[in-house]
Amino acid sequence: MNLNLWQKKMVRAIGCVALLLAFQMADAATRPGRAAVCAIKGTAEYQIRGELTWQQLKVGMVLAEGVSIRTGKGSSADLAFTTGAIARITEKTSVSIDKLTEETNGVPQSNRRPVGNTELTLQRGKLMTEVAKQTLGSKFRVHTPAGNIDVVGTQLIITYDPMTGQFTLSVPEGSVTLTLPDGRLVTVTQGNRITGTYYPATGQVVLTQPVPTPMDPAFREFLNDNIRSGIRELVINSTGPIDLDAVIRAAIAAAGGAYAPIVVVIPNITNPTIVSPSLPADP
């Protein structure tokens, strides 16, 4: 089967699809997690830790920890994580993926999400996330200079301006815990927002009391555009020729008929590559 035709079928059947041809991994307690780029509006770039150059971010790319992403004016990038979250990096925003790991056995072996560890840092701008209910032992944390936010099955909007030190934290659904630089803990519950200012010279953070806030229209648009359940994985174990039609059928079955991003992992490949489809799904 022609690979380009196969890519089109996969994208149209499932939506956001990333095909990862990977080395067979040694048996271990954890493995690298992955984040698939599901959508891009405008301009977005990525940089690998330790490198100086920035490169164009493309739909279908599969990212790992150690990658930073930045967006231009009027731009955004959507990610779906194997650890059970979706995120929109909005315009003029810089985010780094500091940690992204998961247990070796999880999806699809036991039909549950793997225990995962996801840590992001928001350097500037606005980040919107929806994190699926986490498997016991999992962690999803967002770092900012103003404090660290721990998320467990929550919708979250964070903004931070390094020029003024101002930040906001809104929770459309669920609750989060903010750990301030001085160790204080602040809980923000569903439907509330806090604002504050971080003073780098002293390390102090001045906060407002949580106040009720309506749903951000931009966040509602993000949810409507995206997948509520995050990314799924499909492992194809084969030492011989790959039946691409069979892979398509298996991926559709794994998606459960939903618009779900799929990372297809094919072990035992001597020269791993990434196929990055960029066609939109059929309506």
Looking up residue 78, the CATH number of its domain turns out to be 2.60.120.1440
Across the range 103-121, mean pLDDT stands at 67
- Kindly state the tokens that stand for 248: 């398509």
User: What pLDDT sits at residue 63?
Assistant: 87
Q: Is 79 within a domain? A: yes
Note down the domain range covering 101: 28-228
Confidence of residue 224 (pLDDT cuts 50, 70, 90): confident
In the chain, pLDDT over 90 holds for what percent of residues? Answer: 39
Asked if the model's pLDDT at residue 150 lies above 90, the reply is: yes
Would you say residue 145 has pLDDT above 90?
Answer: yes
In a domain? residue 239: no
For residue 266, pLDDT over 80 is answered with no
Amino acid letter, 273: T
Q: What is the DSSP letter of 55?
A: E
When comparing pLDDT for 222 and 172, which is higher? 172
The string of pLDDT tens digits covering residues 175-220 is 999 999 999 999 999 999 999 999 999 989 999 888 898 888 888 8
Q: What is the pLDDT of residue 33?
A: 78
In a domain? residue 280: no
The residue ranking higher by pLDDT, 103 or 107, is 103
- CA pair distance 170, 167, nearest whole angstrom: 10
95 or 226, which is more confident: 95
Rounded average pLDDT over 90-100: 96
Indicate whether 122 belongs to any domain: yes
Instruction: Report pLDDT for 276.
Output: 32
What tokens does 22 get? 């990977």
Q: Considering the domain boundaries, does residue 121 fall inside one?
A: yes
Note whether residue 138 is domain-resident: yes
Among residues 70, 73, 89, 90, the alpha carbon closest in space to that of 81 is found at: 89
Q: 196 in a domain, yes or no?
A: yes
Residue 275: strand pairing partners? 19
The Cα 205–Cα 29 span in angstroms is 38
CB of 43 within 8 A of CB of 75?
yes
Q: Does residue 155 lie within any of the structural domains?
A: yes
pTM for the full predicted model: 0.74
The CA-based diameter of the chain, rounded to the nearest angstrom, is 62
Alpha-carbon distance values, 11 to 86, 150, 184 (Å): 18, 33, 46
Residue 39 predicted with pLDDT over 60: yes
Confidence band of 3 (pLDDT split at 50, 70, 90): very low
Classified as helix, coil or strand, 260 is: coil
pLDDT for res 112: 58
Give burial (CB, 10 Å; 0-12/13-18/19+) of 166. Answer: middle
Structural domains in the chain (count): 1
165 backbone dihedrals φ, ψ, rounded to 5°: 80, 0
Share of the chain above pLDDT 70, in %: 64
pLDDT-derived band at 282 (thresholds 50, 70, 90) equals very low
- What average pLDDT does the chain have? 75
Query: How many other CB atoms sit within 10 Å of the CB of residue 161?
Result: 14
